[in-house]
Amino acid sequence: MWLFSRKGPSGFSASSTAEEVTQGIDGTGLTAIVTGASSGIGTETARVLALRGVHVIMAVRNMAAGKDVREAIVKEIPSAKVDAMELDVSSLASVRKFASEYNSQGRPLNILMYNSFGAYGQSKLANILHAKELAKHLKEDGVNITANSLHPGSIVTNLFRYNGILRGFCNTVGKLVLKNIPQGAATTCYVALHPQVQGVSGEYFSDSNIYKPNSQGQNMELAKKLWDFSMNLVK
């Protein structure tokens, strides 16, 4: 586990868990939307934010699964404020319906955590570029909102659960280099709540530390093209 023991400037490492990076932080009064909260990293993120006093809105496609997760969190943390709302991020109609319903409830929104899925390499790059361009627009508009992207790390449970041979490998060697779910949710919770990240925008995080992406991830021309394309899609 020596690979995971190297701490970065933040004081945390790849082996840090979501609970560890938020230890002592009080999120009371904050409201967060967490997409993909019905399984894996999304569930752990929702649980730890609720543990720290944040009012968590789980935005989930499967409401039955979301209800089960909510009940499990409240059973563990009786004081938790957790609600589930239906959202399919692959459908613009669903996104618009969710936004309309959320706004009609008059709730504040302090944290939006988007857990992306799909073609992994492309979606990862798109998230990095989008966060950089969004941060640029927010700064130009003089809005006190930050936007960052992150890489949770390779999670053994999610990546290899369907392949018997790879699962066997992960149960042995993989445990030394791959993260479990509490470790995988750490960077998400760190960026959401830790005072070290206050005011930081347009950055890319990995292992609960600021990390420099590759040259493509720093290509602002490509970021603008992606932004313009996205704006055209959503009109």
pLDDT in tens, 188-231: 999 999 999 999 999 999 999 999 999 999 999 999 999 999 99
Distance set, CA 163 to CA 35, 40, 90 (Å): 26, 17, 26
CA 95, CA 2: separation in Å to the nearest integer?
Answer: 43
CA distance between the termini of the chain: 48
Compute CA distances 181 → 52, 129, 156, whole Å: 18, 25, 8
Cut 0.75: pTM above it: yes
Task: Report the catalytic residues.
Answer: 114
How large is the average pLDDT for residues 142-153? 94
For 83-139, write each residue's pLDDT tens digit: 999 999 999 999 999 999 999 999 999 999 998 766 666 788 999 999 999 999 999
